[in-house]
Amino acid sequence: MVKYADRITALPPYLFAEVDRAKQQKVREGVDVIDLGVGDPDTPTPDYVIESLCEAVRKPETHQYPSYSGSNVFRDAAARWCAERFGVRLDPAAEVITLIGSKEGIAHIPLAFVNRGDYTLCPNPAYPVYGIGTTLADGVPYDMPLREENGFRPDLSAVPKDVLRKAKMLFINYPNNPTAAVADKAFLREVVDFGRDHGIVVVSDNAYSEIAYDGYRAPSILEVPGAMDCCIEFHSLSKTSNMTGWRIGFAAGNADAVAGLGKVKMNVDSGAFLAVQLAGIDALRRSREFLPGLNRTYQARRDALCAGLRSMGLKVTPPKATFYVWAPVPPEYTSIEYAKYLLDQAGIVGTPGVGFGKYGEGYVRFSLTSPLERINLAVERMRQL
């Protein structure tokens, strides 16, 4: 009776749902599973954000429909944060929009710029939503391989001319999920020039900008001269203030790109809960006092996990940013086989690289969002394999 539209049947199975199914099966079998699969912060949202929400939620004016593009005070705070963090000056009214989590904005933006059959240039492996948002807009994702020998950065000169003619958007994501690679300003300049030269909207997903180690500070593409001509950058409070469940983020950049996304959103949602936006202001304002401790926690986990992976003979490079470790699997395994081996033999969940796209084959992604004791236990189990 019920027949799905082609755009729905064209979607790949959502990766994390598959991994979760295999994990749940093991749990049902009584295995003490250590989940290094999904990247969802395990430590709580800071108290000052919770207090701020409690206060805001008692105010009846927060109970009504919020404004479509976000409350002025939240957008002001986002612009202020971008100025302090990246030295980027933004007009909050025209160049910033509140999102119900950055995933929502990333999934919706192709609807504003992609016509049927147009291309979007998507990194591969990648966070799946770039390609999925494109498919839902009847566009075609064009894979740009991220190869280790190129520092997991796409080779923009390799995009064929006929693809380029029909390309409307380019997605980049540094610090990168899943490879944990970072990008320098020179690469970001190349991306801005490419977007300007070809009339392409550049979407920079900067969800992991604040999760960094060893003194590394991730840049924003908006710092690059000319970026405001063609770029929009997505930011999320999910990872930077442990607020994944709260659904709050923002996009900032070129006013037409922001307005295009705003037009889509105005017609499909009614904005982020105002009380959450008000709490988000405190999250942004006080992130500098929260982040050093959070990053120390992840860094200790990173060091423990990398040591364990090396003990199994995996050649891992400790990441400078993100809470992921991207590890090459032994050559005799595919990434799915290796993830299955780890789950079956050690009760450890890792995400097979191929789940992020075909160029992720040969790798497995581990997330650092489990307590150090669990990571140490995982390492112990790895040593026994």
Ligand X SMILES: Cc1ncc(COP(=O)(O)O)c(C=O)c1O
Sites for ligand X among residues 26-85 (CB under 6 A): 39
Q: Which tokens hold the place of 49?
A: 């954000």
246-265 positions binding ligand X, by CB under 6 A: 249
Q: Is 173 one of the binding residues for ligand X (CB under 6 A)?
A: yes
Q: Which stretch binds ligand X (CB under 6 A): 96-104, 149-157, 260-268, 274-282?
A: 96-104
Instruction: Find the binder of ligand X among 205, 210, 233, 282 (CB under 6 A).
Output: 205
CA dist., res. 260 & res. 270, Å (int): 16
CA atoms within 13 A on the CB side of 63: 6
Cα 32–Cα 36–Cα 42 angle in degrees, nearest 5: 95
Footprint (CB under 6 A) of ligand X, residues 208-227: none
- Reduced to 3 states (helix: H, G, I; strand: E, B; else coil), residue 199 is coil
CB 381 within 8 A of CB 341: no
CA dihedral 300, 306, 309, 315 (to 10 degrees): 180
If phi > 0 it is left, if psi is from -120 to 50 it is alpha, else beta; for residue 163 that is: alpha
103 binds ligand X (CB under 6 A): yes
175 touches ligand X by CB under 6 A: no
Closest to ligand X by CB, 216 vs 383, is 216
Binding residues for ligand X, total number by CB under 6 A: 13
Q: Which of 69, 204, 236, 335 binds ligand X (CB under 6 A)?
A: 236
Residue 170 and residue 121: Cα distance in Å, rounded? 5
- H/E run at residue 113: helix 110-113
Bridge partners for 249 per DSSP: 99, 236
Interacting residue with ligand X among 62, 124, 134, 177 (CB under 6 A): 177
Give the residue with the Cβ less far from ligand X, 170 or 382: 170
Beta strands in 1-40 (DSSP E): 34-35
Which range in 95-103, 116-124, 264-272, 377-385 contacts ligand X by CB under 6 A?
Answer: 95-103
Among 74, 81, 127, 187, binds ligand X (CB under 6 A): 127
Please identify, using beta-carbon distances, which residue of 168 and 365 lies nearer to ligand X.
365
The phi-psi region of residue 271 (left if phi > 0; otherwise alpha if psi is between -120 and 50; otherwise beta) is left
| 301 is a contact residue toward ligand X (CB under 6 A) | no
Least CB distance from residue 216 to ligand X, whole Å?
A: 17
Residues that bind ligand X (CB under 6 A): 39, 101-103, 127, 173, 177, 205, 207, 236, 238, 244, 249
